[in-house]
């Protein structure tokens, strides 16, 4: 097997971009953070900030996100090697992992550890940071790329595609014969007159 970058199609580019972006956002950007303003009682600290990356904030979900990144990059490598697993659609695996990662991030955005407390001259605020939104976009990009890979592999489409309408059939020319039935009434056709000449009269 030989690596061939020309085998990388648009789906693999989207998957690779999303995986690399999710790696950077997960390890180097802050997903949660907070600040303390005011003088803390019993100390000389007038303010402080605290923040955590996605890798630091979660102990279980981070492994799912890491596996998603590895699967996404592995699918790109498999495309470059023209490698196929018997009975396994790589696009379906990437799609499932990307969708699971996206759902987990959405869950962490909705149900996040947040607080806003004020009193005794201090104010404490804690919540999500911009990095978690970028992580969600990266996970959605992996999901989209996995879906496109599945379509390219010939998998069944998950979204119904509009059927292509054919050209309308040409209308049949009107018949010279009168219709045999109309509104349930039967119309009988008159029998044509015989073309034979009448018999000669006896002279």
pLDDT-above-70 percentage for the chain: 65
For 124, the enclosing helix (H) or strand (E) is: strand 122-128
Give tens-digit pLDDT for 82-125.
Answer: 888 777 899 999 999 999 999 999 999 998 766 555 555 566 77
Instruction: Flag whether 170 is in a domain.
Output: no
Mean pLDDT, residues 143-149: 95
Instruction: Flag whether 202 is in a domain.
Output: no
Burial class (CB in 10 A: 0-12, 13-18, 19+), 119: exposed
Instruction: Flag whether 89 is in a domain.
Output: yes
* Predicted confidence (pLDDT) at residue 203 exceeds the cutoff of 50: no
* Overall number of domains in the chain: 1
Q: CA–CA separation, 158 vs 135, rounded Å?
A: 24
Q: CA–CA separation, 105 vs 101, rounded Å?
A: 6
Q: CA–CA separation, 139 vs 66, rounded Å?
A: 11
Instruction: Flag whether 132 is in a domain.
Output: yes
Instruction: Flag whether 93 is in a domain.
Output: yes
Report which of 136, 96, 138 is spatially closest to residue 112, judged by C-alpha positions: 136
* Predicted confidence (pLDDT) at residue 200 exceeds the cutoff of 80: no
- Between 58 and 165, whose confidence is greater? 58
Q: Calculate the average pLDDT of the chain.
A: 78
Give tens-digit pLDDT for 175-194.
Answer: 555 545 444 545 555 555 55
Q: What is the CATH number of the domain that holds 87?
A: 1.20.140
Containing domain of residue 29, as a range? 12-152
Mean pLDDT, residues 50-60: 90
């Amino acid at each position: 097997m030989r690596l061939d970058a020309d085998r990388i199609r648009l789906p693999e580019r989207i998957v690779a971009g999303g995986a690399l972006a999710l790696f950077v956002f997960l390890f180097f950007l802050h997903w949660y953070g907070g600040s303390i303003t005011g003088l803390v009682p019993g100390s000389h600290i007038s303010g402080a900030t605290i923040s955590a990356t996605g890798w630091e904030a979660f102990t279980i979900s981070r492994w799912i996100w890491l596996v998603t990144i590895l699967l996404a990059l592995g699918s790109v490598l498999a495309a470059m090697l023209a490698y196929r697993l018997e009975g396994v659609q790589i696009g379906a695996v990437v799609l499932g992992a990307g969708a699971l990662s996206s759902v987990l991030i959405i869950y962490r955005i909705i149900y996040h550890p947040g607080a806003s407390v004020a009193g005794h001259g201090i104010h404490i605020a804690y919540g999500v940071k911009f990095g978690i939104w970028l992580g969600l976009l990266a996970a959605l990009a992996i999901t989209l790329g996995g879906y496109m890979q599945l379509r390219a592999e010939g998998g069944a489409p998950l979204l119904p595609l509009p059927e292509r309408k054919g050209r309308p059939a040409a209308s049949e020319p009107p018949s010279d014969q009168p219709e045999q039935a109309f509104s349930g009434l039967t119309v009988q056709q008159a029998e044509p007159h015989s073309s034979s000449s009448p018999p000669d009269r006896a002279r």
